[in-house]
Structure 1
Amino acid sequence: MVERKKCTKAVNTSFVFSACLPLIFVTGPAAAQRDAPSEGGRVIGQVFDRVEPVVETGLHGFFQLLGNQPIAFILLVLTLGTLIGKLNVKGVSLGSTAGTLLVGVVLSMIAEAAYGITYSIPGILSSFMLLLFMYALGLKVGPQFFSGLRKGGLAFIGIGIIVWALNWIICYVGASWAGLAPGYATGLISGSYTITAILGVGQGALASGAYTPPSGMTIEEIGANMAAAYAISYVLSSIGIILLIRYLPRIFGRDAKADAILAEADYSGGATHPVPGAPGALTIGFSPYDLRAFVVTHDSLIGRNLSQLTSEFPQVPILRVVRDGAVLALSDETVLARDDIVTVRANVHDLILKEGELIGPESDNPLARNVPLEVADIHVGSHAVSGKTLKELASHGTGGIEVQALFRAGNEIPLGPKSMVTFGDVLRLTGPDIALKAAAKQLGGHAILPTMKSEVLYLALAMLVGYLVGIVTVNISGIPFSLGTSAGCILAGVGVSYFRSRNPEFGGPVHEGARSFLQDFGLNAFVAVLSANVGPKVITALGGDTILWLALIGTMGALLPPLIAFWVGIKFFGLNSIIADGATTGGRNSTPGLNAIIEESGSSVAAVPYPVSYALTTVLALIGGYLSMILS
């Protein structure tokens, strides 16, 4: 329905949204009741959402528009928050999440304080966005969580637990000792740990009824307390942790660059490839194998079919044949003719350089040389090849490919000609598509290639299972306990990535760009909605000396645990200072901190222990945040 209105007043402002708007779309439940005709008591609905008129001018009209159009508010907050988060002052930045929260809180506070406009956005939107974030995060840390626990050793795990436990004790006990109201402890843990998702599990505890606000307090007020504590402690800890991690070795009298050289020597061996299903798994790196094209001139090849040549030269298969300017469709019975151009791939030094003598002169024909190389994970599903070595497999028509990595039960194992392949292993191969398909057929699996396709089926099913598990509630002594939908979805993501690391055909692969988008957009959209709903309450929450307590407890919770954990790492575990620093910043979940120590030491070896403590404490921090809420 379109209603034309006559302009009733002049507008003198640069922001023109008023009652003079000539076109107003009307629909929605309220609009249907008010404007839609009815037949026999039945209300006829409309097609479009109602666009509420903006009757004020200037800034007042601007804030009224944001109140009438929540989607506009969310998009504006995401835009401005991301821009502010990118601002870098001497290597320090807020990040998009903190920037989004800051912008949303400020806008909603101004709307409430200056114009009496209270923003309210349905919570189902923020809840769903949070669950998307949790699932995507689970996909990210899942492979690290299980494989890293076995590879990293007890020292990395111990450092992570120390950081997490001390942070929880400082924030929770500190908030109780200072007499802070419910919600502040959870916000302090979230902000000092710079894990915004902890706010989500705190909100989940409130929404599920696991925690009931005391008499005189509302859920919105507790949410405001969490947001206020988070905002203050997040900013302070984000800056402080970068400086602390960078200079921890120097504080304890260690030379960061010298220790990094020693650590590189100690950690030069071992696994170097991401497990199947992990981000960056299907990436082609350097390879000594190369594609070469030759003109067939030797009589020993003319008139012979590809099946015969593959049997005689299994490690140097013919991947393409160009005849008279056209690419032939290959089969075992394809017969070579004089002046054909054939494309082969093998190790440059061992094989290909000799083939010119056997085949003929080398060719630069673009049709012959334009053979795309791909990388694929293949799950070994044939018992016939189980127990064979890589050398034996290469002698049975799987030439033209290179084995990049070999995984067994989610763990990378050393490679060599005598490395044995067993049923259930995963081989990561590089080569042309035709060679990969031939290898997959022999191994009894499918070539899992990089893809831009989404995995909606696995995402929806896994999130559904995680959600249902999260809402299961157990009453103990009259107190309802549940895992929570947020924790359920992150564990669903961990589970999917865990099974995928053992069999890449389990719903993979997930494009890292798509996974990263779900994680970033889901979290920031959740924060945008949260900021709109709790922003006005922050003014009340910051009354008296509360802000001082939040700053003090948040800073101590952010910096004291890493300091103690690093000391334990070098004194009791005997770790190299750079390795201890990497484990500490992982336990503290600070990627900017990791970048700081990498810059300070001039080496990336600090990243070796980072995934172990990071993955472990990501899960522990969410559980701790949930407990801090229900124990308030």
Structure 2
Amino acid sequence: MLTVVVDILRSHPEIALFLTLALGYLIGKVRLGGHALGLVTGALFAGLLMGQLAIEVSNELKIIFLLLFLFANGYGAGPQFFRALRQDGFGPLVLTLVVCFSGLLMVWLTSRLMGLSTGYTAGLLSGALTQSSAMGTASEAIMALPLPEQERLALVNQIPIADAVCYLFGFWGEVIFVAAVLPKLLGIDLEKEAKALDAKLGIKEETSVRSAYSVQAARGVLIETDRFRTVADLEAEAAAAGQRLTVLRVRHGDHIIDATPSTALKIGDVVALAGRRSWIVDFTSKIGREEDDAVLLDIPFDSANIIITNAAIEKETLGEIAATRDYTRGIFITRLRRGEQDIPISLKTRLQQGDGISLVGNSASLAKAADDLGYWERPSILTNMFTLGVGIVVGCLIGLPALYIGGVKLALSTSVGTLLAGLFLGWLHSKRPWMVGNIPEPTRLFLINFGLAGFVAITGLHAGPGFIAGLKDVGIPLFIAGIFCTCVPPTIGMLFGKYILRMNPVLLLGAVSGAQTMTAAMVAVQERAKSQAPVIGFTVPYALGNIILTTFGSIIVLLVS
């Protein structure tokens, strides 16, 4: 029976590939220390396991998976990447460069000291620095070396072996090191520092990543006091107590009207009061009592996801925007995303170009908000295949030109070219959304997960036959070397950020996590700090680190080959 199954898998590698992805998903669910392995790591181990059956899968298919991942990854990171280069100044960019290049230096020194082959060195880099996409750029760079094909294939198959050896500590070791060890090296009380930063930024613990403007409820309130002459008076009293409440409609006897700041109020009026539920309950007890008025509260609301393109809006806080725009009375923020991360929202939060802000409110106010802030991105499940296809084609063409120096081929490669094309188109979409066809967020995330998981699964299948021998050859020494390559870069980044850049320690830990593209480390810092603030320091270095570490796959091959 086993022989029949093996024969089927060997004769139909497409079945073997999808079985590998399925097993990788299950392996990725395994949790150690509160964090799961993840789909990509699971796919690599599943590929190495299935690879023991000597299943042959097309190398071209592996490249297709990689290109899909790189383009989608670049498309998502583009807005933050170019903004960091242009506007975010010295700090985030230089800190990311320090962390990334110290990692590259550690890998290069380790390779020289241990006499590692090019393949094992590339795997050390991708595993210790937890950047699986670097396996793709390294593989393409190795295949361009002036070596016999069998030797090049052998080196490429060494990459996932070294990556598997180093990735486990690279992942969990860094989570523990950044969240638990670095705060002690900084000599700080992380929770105390986070509370002080939250107070400075106006972030309240109970809001988490939800908006200070979010509509938790809309309730009818019967006014039983004569101290409010107008709607503006009522809203001002709530604001003085730190509660942003908005009167949407007013019932005067049998008549219902839409409210404006100048709308008159008197005892016996019923107002449709919108805002956070706890605020409404508290404020209602001061001015009257709740009234169940279904007709008054039958208010049509729409929703919108707006891409921020107005550069001038970055100069104002959300509180300033709310105070100076009439349309803000009719809308409420439900979510703010920067790149792939939710950003905590307060009156002091500032929007950035490329941010995605989700709003609810009446259609007229939403339309005005879109005109002022940027571009109303209408919900769509359709992916613009022209953008995806032409983007990858142009990226591959960018990577084809090459120089030959000393017999070594120097080129961007199709993988790096595709990454650059994705960066540019993603940035252009954030600036001029109508010029570049949209790739919906769910589609982009699918391409990232499916593309990278498919690539590493096939990489594992190719390397599987030699995995055991390679593990015996370099297993323990490489694992120890990986510990140093994982821990040294964030330490250097922490010292540089503290003594040179003078960064807030909470934001610094988030930035170090981002520079090594470790979302799990940032989440661990948030948990220990009991604050969402570290994500503010995380987003820009994460976008930069993803791009830089991916290209390091090519660079390390050139350095050691």
TM-score normalized by the length of structure 1: 0.67
Residue 37 of structure 2 aligns to a residue whose secondary structure is coil
Residue 450 of structure 1 aligns to a residue whose secondary structure is coil
Distance in 1, Cα, partners of 2:59 & 2:397: 19
Corresponding residue number in structure 1 for 2:513: 585
Residue 478 of structure 2 aligns to a residue whose secondary structure is helix
Q: CA deviation at 1:79?
A: 1.2
Distance in 1, Cα, partners of 2:195 & 2:86: 25
Corresponding residue number in structure 2 for 1:238: 171
How many residues get paired?
A: 488
State which structure, 1 or 2, has the greater radius of gyration over its C-alpha atoms.
Answer: 1
> What are the residue-to-residue correspondences of 1:550-565 with 2, within 5 Å?
550-565=478-493
Q: CA deviation at 1:289?
A: 11
1:70-117 deviation line (CA, Å, top 9, x unaligned): 1211111111111111111331432211111111101212x2xxxxxx
Amino acid in the other structure paired with 1:431: G
Corresponding residue number in structure 2 for 1:460: 389
> What are the residue-to-residue correspondences of 1:300-449 with 2, within 5 Å?
344=258, 351=263, 364=293, 369=298, 371-377=300-306, 401-402=330-331, 430-433=360-363, 436=366, 447-449=376-378
Over 3 Å counting, the alpha-carbon distance change for 1:258 and 1:459 in structure 2 is same
Corresponding residue number in structure 1 for 2:414: 485
Amino acid in the other structure paired with 2:481: I
Residue 71 of structure 1 aligns to a residue whose secondary structure is helix
Moved more, 512-521 or 494-503: 494-503
**Which of 206, 213, 216 is residue 286 of structure 1 equivalent to?**
213
**Which of 178, 190, 193 is residue 114 of structure 2 equivalent to?**
178
Distance in 2, Cα, partners of 1:193 & 1:535: 22
Unaligned runs of 5+ in 1: 1-56, 112-117, 270-279, 294-314, 319-338, 382-388, 417-424
1:210-233 deviation line (CA, Å, top 9, x unaligned): x233x6952221112111111101
Corresponding residue number in structure 2 for 1:532: 461
Corresponding residue number in structure 1 for 2:285: none
Distance in 2, Cα, partners of 1:444 & 1:216: 54
Over 3 Å counting, the alpha-carbon distance change for 1:399 and 1:85 in structure 2 is closer
Corresponding residue number in structure 1 for 2:351: none
Distance in 1, Cα, partners of 2:508 & 2:464: 39
Matching of residue 547 in structure 1 with residue 480 in structure 2: no
Distance in 2, Cα, partners of 1:390 & 1:246: 35
Distance in 1, Cα, partners of 2:212 & 2:461: 46
Matching of residue 169 in structure 1 with residue 105 in structure 2: yes
Amino acid in the other structure paired with 2:417: G
Distance in 2, Cα, partners of 1:553 & 1:358: 70
Distance in 2, Cα, partners of 1:175 & 1:428: 48
Corresponding residue number in structure 2 for 1:10: none
Query: CA contact under 8 A between 1:346 and 1:352: conserved in structure 2?
Result: no
Unaligned runs of 5+ in 2: 204-208, 221-245, 273-290, 311-319, 348-354
Query: CA contact under 8 A between 1:192 and 1:234: conserved in structure 2?
Result: yes
Over 3 Å counting, the alpha-carbon distance change for 1:601 and 1:377 in structure 2 is closer
Over 3 Å counting, the alpha-carbon distance change for 1:539 and 1:603 in structure 2 is same
Amino acid in the other structure paired with 1:572: I
Give the RMSD, CA atoms, in angstroms.
4.2
Residue 306 of structure 2 aligns to a residue whose secondary structure is strand
Query: CA contact under 8 A between 2:84 and 2:93: conserved in structure 1?
Result: no
Amino acid in the other structure paired with 2:168: V
Distance in 1, Cα, partners of 2:447 & 2:267: 49
Query: CA contact under 8 A between 1:257 and 1:600: conserved in structure 2?
Result: yes
**Which of 190, 207, 222 is residue 256 of structure 1 equivalent to?**
190
Over 3 Å counting, the alpha-carbon distance change for 1:356 and 1:474 in structure 2 is farther
Q: Which has the higher helix share?
A: 2
Amino acid in the other structure paired with 2:510: G
Distance in 2, Cα, partners of 1:520 & 1:288: 33
Residue 134 of structure 2 aligns to a residue whose secondary structure is helix
**Which of 14, 21, 25 is residue 82 of structure 1 equivalent to?**
25
Q: Quick one: percent identity of the two aligned structures?
A: 26
Corresponding residue number in structure 2 for 1:54: none
Distance in 2, Cα, partners of 1:254 & 1:108: 47
Q: CA deviation at 1:148?
A: 3.9
> What are the residue-to-residue correspondences of 1:86-165 with 2, within 5 Å?
86-109=29-52, 111=53, 118-149=54-85, 152-165=88-101
Distance in 1, Cα, partners of 2:23 & 2:101: 35
Distance in 2, Cα, partners of 1:604 & 1:316: 30
Residue 436 of structure 2 aligns to a residue whose secondary structure is coil
Distance in 2, Cα, partners of 1:379 & 1:196: 31
Over 3 Å counting, the alpha-carbon distance change for 1:263 and 1:286 in structure 2 is closer
Residue 589 of structure 1 aligns to a residue whose secondary structure is coil
Q: CA deviation at 1:430?
A: 4.8
Corresponding residue number in structure 2 for 1:602: 530
Distance in 2, Cα, partners of 1:602 & 1:392: 30
Residue 542 of structure 1 aligns to a residue whose secondary structure is helix
Amino acid in the other structure paired with 2:153: E
Q: CA deviation at 1:125?
A: 1.3
Distance in 1, Cα, partners of 2:424 & 2:266: 49
1:1-45 deviation line (CA, Å, top 9, x unaligned): xxxxxxxxxxxxxxxxxxxxxxxxxxxxxxxxxxxxxxxxxxxxx
Over 3 Å counting, the alpha-carbon distance change for 1:72 and 1:378 in structure 2 is closer
Distance in 2, Cα, partners of 1:216 & 1:459: 32
Q: CA deviation at 1:598?
A: 0.9
Amino acid in the other structure paired with 1:620: I
Q: CA deviation at 1:256?
A: 0.9
Distance in 1, Cα, partners of 2:500 & 2:6: 57
Distance in 2, Cα, partners of 1:482 & 1:583: 31
Moved more, 605-614 or 591-600: 605-614
Query: CA contact under 8 A between 1:470 and 1:488: conserved in structure 2?
Result: yes
Distance in 1, Cα, partners of 2:214 & 2:449: 34
Over 3 Å counting, the alpha-carbon distance change for 1:533 and 1:351 in structure 2 is farther
Corresponding residue number in structure 1 for 2:226: none
1:226-257 deviation line (CA, Å, top 9, x unaligned): 11111101112112101101111123432111
Matching of residue 495 in structure 1 with residue 495 in structure 2: no
Distance in 1, Cα, partners of 2:4 & 2:309: 64
Amino acid in the other structure paired with 1:169: L
Corresponding residue number in structure 2 for 1:206: 142
Amino acid in the other structure paired with 1:188: L
Q: CA deviation at 1:119?
A: 1.3
